[in-house]
Amino acid sequence: MPATITPTLTLDAARALESTFKGRIFTPSSSTGTRGGGGGGERGAPMVFVPTTAAEVGTALRLARAANRRVSVLAGQEVPPDEVSGADAAIVSMEAFQRVDVRAGRVTVGAAATTGEVAAVLARKGLFLPLDDSPDQSIASAVLGMKGSPFLRSGGGLGSLRDAVVAAEIVGIDGKGAGAPKTLRGDAVRALWSGGLRAVITKLVFDPTAWTKDAVRRWT
């Protein structure tokens, strides 16, 4: 997704901001990348940011904008796809956001956790969510792409994976507060599905209550 974070940083401000970045910044040809600095990659290759916190996602977006680069956000992919290339490209890889927690009846999932990883945790906890059969798909991609339930014969009134989201941690791309982490709850989350809010999703919180009955028996 293209990002338009404003205002554009001065060179000194960009360098100061980069020094606070604790994740990795590198080009695809570098073997390990660096912490808070550029790797020794090929000329003309895109710049890759691997943030470890929601705040660093905002930092990565601001640095990419300051360098006049077009931004793509990847959830859980360590190697940029072939179609993302060029010296004017920047990639924000969400691969560090993979944690899955179950507390107080809520399932909190990092954007890059796969549906397979989420399913494994739910099965151990005796919970269920309407995940599809693409185990390597990131949970953020699954929620954004799934409008209906994949289990249409599982009883009336049970919605989609998207319907189970009760909160979302995001980093806005446009407008006031762009680049700053924010948590959306309730109806405010719907702006993500409608396209009314352009943002990078860092974390999703699900309520599996609707699927509690016979949850264990649903797993095969």
Q: Are 113 and 97 in contact (CB under 8 A)?
A: yes
Q: What is the mean pLDDT of residues 45-55?
A: 91
**Residue 175 and residue 150 share a domain:** yes
**Residue 56 and residue 115 share a domain:** no
Task: State how many domains the chain has.
Answer: 2
Instruction: Indicate if the alpha-carbon torsion angle 128, 131, 135, 138 is positive or negative.
Output: negative
Give tens-digit pLDDT for 172-211. 887 777 789 999 998 889 888 887 788 999 999 999 988 8
Q: Are 2 and 89 in contact (CB under 8 A)?
A: no
Residue 139 above 90 pLDDT?
yes
Q: Are 107 and 117 in contact (CB under 8 A)?
A: no
pLDDT for the residue 82: 63
What domain range includes position 149? 100-213
User: For residue 202, what is the domain's CATH number?
Assistant: 3.30.465.10
Q: What is the mean pLDDT of residues 49-53?
A: 94
> Is residue 1 very low, low, confident or very high in pLDDT (cuts 50, 70, 90)?
very low
Query: Mean pLDDT score of the chain, rounded to an integer?
Result: 81
**Residue 121 and residue 170 share a domain:** yes
**Residue 109 and residue 135 share a domain:** yes
pLDDT for the residue 56: 95
The edge-to-edge listing of strands for the beta sheet with 34-35 is: 34-35, 24-26, 47-50, 89-93, 70-74
pLDDT for the residue 58: 93
Q: Are 46 and 86 in contact (CB under 8 A)?
A: yes
How long is the chain? Answer: 220
Query: Bridge partners of 89?
Result: 70
* Strands, E assignment, the chain: 24-26, 34-35, 47-50, 70-74, 89-93, 100-103, 106-110, 165-172, 181-185, 199-206
Q: What is the mean pLDDT of residues 129-157?
A: 76
pLDDT for the residue 116: 94
**Which residue, 93, 125, 154, sits at the end of a domain?**
93
Residue 3 above 50 pLDDT?
no
> Is residue 2 very low, low, confident or very high in pLDDT (cuts 50, 70, 90)?
very low
Residue 3 maps to a domain: no
> Cis omega before residue 208 (within 30°)?
no
**Residue 71 and residue 52 share a domain:** yes
Rounded to whole angstroms, how far apart are CA atoms 145 and 164? 14
pLDDT for the residue 66: 83
